[in-house]
Amino acid sequence: MEKHNKRDQGCNQPSDRLCQHLMGDIVSNVFEEKHCGRPVLDEGHDVEGKPACLMHSCNPSKSAREFQEEFERIQREAGEEIADFTGFVFPTSDYSGRSFAAKCRFTDAVFCQKAGFFRAVFAQEADFSRVRFDKDAVFGAVFSRGASFVGARFTEDANFAHCTFVGRANFLYCRFAGAVQFDETKFLRESQSGKDPIPIFCRAVFEKPQRSVFYQTDLGYALFHNCDISAVNFSDVTWHRRSNGKSMCFEELIDPNKWQLDPPPDAKEFLSPASRKRFMARRFEQLTHGAPQSMRPREGDPNPRNYRLIAELYQRLKTNYDSRCDYWTAGDFHYGEMEMKRLASRRRSRLLRWLHSHAGLVAWYKYASEYGESYVRPSLWLSLVLLLFTVLYPAVGLRTDTNPNKQAVETLTYSHPLKSANDTRRVWQARLDLMLNSGLTTVEVALLQRNPSYEPSYRRGRFLMLFELVLSSTLGALVLLAVRRQLKR
C-alpha cells in the first residue's frame, strides 16, 4: 500500500479520476489492511507468492494444529467484536456444530480442503466475500445477521441445504463451478416491515445449472437479474405474488433510487488515507449490498426502472419452466414479460406514457385475455359483446322479409315491434320476440353468416354490424388462441 500512497500523493487529478483509479483496489482490498504482524513462515508464501506467516501461507505442509490454535485464539479474544480471518489459508476447516459469537470476516480466505459448517451458528455478520473454496463446501448453518458471499468461488460442490439466513444473503458475483443445493433453505427478514431484497444472486454464475437446485425455498424477495437461470432447477419454490395471484419477480417492486452511490469527496479530502478508507469501505458496501441499483434505467431512459432487464429475467424463467413442463408457472412469467413491455416506453411526456401503458395495443391485449393466458376472460368479453349488440340492434331497427316476392319489407324497433297491423300479439310479447330475433342476428353476424334472417337497417345499423364483426372475431380468436396454448402444452 505504500506504493499506492506515494503515487496518490503526487496525483493532482480531479476527485472522479481518483475514484476510478481506486475502484480497482476495492475489489482486491477494501480496508487497506496492514501486515498481520506475525512472523514469516519458512518456505511460506501467500496466494500472490509473497512471504507470508502461518495463517496466510499456502504451504501445504504447514502445521494444521498450530493454525487451529491461532484461529481459536483470534475468535476467543474477539468476543463479540470482529474476528478477522482475512486472507487466511485454511489447511483444514471442519467447524460443524460450532458457534461463532464474533463478527466473522473470512474475506479473501482460501479453504484448501472441505469446508464444513454444518449446523454452525453465526450470531453476527459473516463475511465470506471473495473466498475461494477449493473443495466441497457444506453449510447448513444459521446466519443470525445475514451473510455475504460476494465474489466467492466454489470450485466444487456447494451445499446450502437447510441453511437459515436472517437478513440479507448476498451471492453477488458468486461463481458455482459444481453442483449447488438450496434445499429447504430459509431466507428470513430481520424486520417484517422491510421491503429490501433478502437473497441476492445478481451476476452469479452457475456453471452446471442442471445440478443447481432450489427446492422448497421462498424466493419471494430474491433478486436474479443479470443471472442466467434458464436451466437452474427450481422445484416447488415460492415466488412473489401479484394481486391476481400470478407469480412475479421481486425486481418489479424494489426502489432502485434507494441504492444510489455516494459522490466522492473533494480532491484534497480524498487524498487523506482515512478519507479514502472510509469512502472505499462505503463504496464497497453500496456496490455489493446495493445490487438493486443496477435496476436503475440507463442515462436518457425516461422509465422509472430498467424494464428491459426485468423482461430478460422473465424470458429466462419462462424458458426454464417451459423446459420442465411446468406450464402454469411459465405462463405467469410470460405475463410478467408482457407487463414489462406494456410499462416500458421511450416517450418523455407523462400523458403519452400513460396512454401507452393503459390504452396501447399491449394494454388491450392484457385487458382482453391476460396476454393470452386466460380463455375465460375473452369468453366473458365475447358474451358481453353479443349481449350488447343484441340490445343495440332493435334500437336502430331490424329489417325482415315478410313477402315471398320480397316486395314488402318491415323494419322492427322497440317502438314498433309488431310486424303488421294484423299482428294480434301483445306489445311485450312482440318486443320479447324482437329481442330473440336480435340475438339470433347477433350470433349469425359473429359466425359470418352471409344471409341472416334479420339484418340491421339504415346506415347506423350497418356500422353496428361491422363493429360487432370486428369485436367478435378478435375475441373469438383470443379464446381459440388461449385454448390452443393450454392444450398444446
Mean pLDDT per 10-residue run, the chain (489 residues)? 38 37 40 60 68 84 89 91 92 92 93 93 93 94 92 95 93 94 92 76 93 95 92 94 92 77 61 68 62 76 89 95 90 94 91 92 93 92 94 85 51 79 78 87 85 77 89 92 78
User: Hey, what's the cell of 97?
Assistant: 456444530
Q: What is the reported pTM?
A: 0.79
Please choose, from the candidates 295, 216, 209, 312, the residue with its C-alpha nearest in 3D space to the C-alpha of residue 252. 295
228 and 312 in contact (C-beta within 8 Å)?
no
> In which element (H, E) is residue 334 found?
helix 327-343
Q: Which residue is it, cell 411526456? A: 349
Res 42: pLDDT: 63
Residue 147 dihedral angles phi and psi, to the nearest 5°: -150, 150
d(CA 75, CA 65): 15
Long-range own/partner contacts, residues 128-131 (CB < 8 A, 24 or more apart): 128/152, 129/288, 130/27, 131/106, 131/107
Res 459: pLDDT: 81
User: Hey, what's the cell of 115?
Assistant: 469446508
Res 400: pLDDT: 72
Report the Cα 313 to chain-centroid distance in Å. 6
What amino acid occupies position 331? G
Res 26: pLDDT: 40
